[in-house]
Copies of this chain bind each other. A is one copy, B any other.
Amino acid sequence: MSGWVAVAGLGPGADALVTPEVTEALGQATDLVGYIPYVARVPDRDGLTRHASDNRVELERAAHALELAAAGKRVVVASSGDPGVFAMASALFEALEAGPQAWRCIDIRVLPGITAMLAAAARAGAPLGHDFCAINLSDNLKPWAMIERRLRLAAQADFAMAFYNPRSRARPEGFARTLDILRQECGPDRLILFARAVSTDDEELRVVRLEDAAPDMADMRTMVIVGSSRTRLIERSGSPILYTPRWAA
């Protein structure tokens, strides 16, 4: 079988953050599969067939990619950020596990990318420079009670926290609840970063204390990072630097 699937991370937006490994896979592909805006980030060329699909059809998209590869195509599944962090890699393996045995012979690679939390952290300073966790705040695929439990335990562990999908159109109240829980567990002075559309022309960064954080500071393009108890701001000309020291007492 000569077909393959590469689940490729396109990074947060800027071309300068796409790895050469991903660029090479895109150059070899016969088929490009993915969510509409991610497929749109890859330039057209002869010999590349594009299969853009809507949000929330990850399993169908994954099965389609595996079918194409089983038929001998060289398929890139385009993912934003890193494909292994709240993105297409897990969906592909769910489809693989549920699919025909023959699919298990397909050559599958996951090509890592710059995930949103690390791009946002780099632009703000180094808020994830000590122990941290990453939580998907969308309750599409898990119950809210699990999210709340994880938020409280992560706060008790004094992790910095990176939140993906902080505010969905369908359930905007979830992020308001998240901020309430964080204020209870971490107090009003804890620093929180809202990083929107990092590495694109629309990039906006904002650091406030939890007491001043409002749900509408995040939208669907925003990455949110809450510091640990040790996270600090360095004031200077230009934007301040948000960072977490390497040491802890």
Contact = CB atoms under 8 A, between A and B. Distances in A.
A21 interface: yes
Given A90-B243, A153-B153, A132 B134 contact: yes
Nearest to A146: B248
Contacts of A41: none
Interface stretch (A109-117, A184-192, A202-210, A213-221): A109-117
A133 interface: yes
A109 B93 CA distance: 36
A97 interface: yes
Nearest to A20: B16
Contacts of A76: none
A170 interface: no
A150 B141 contact: no
A169 interface: no
Nearest to A241: B93
A18 interface: yes
Contacts of A123: 110
Contact of A83 (B89, B115, B122, B146): B122
A117 B145 CA distance: 28
Given A84-B121, A85-B128, A104 B237 contact: yes
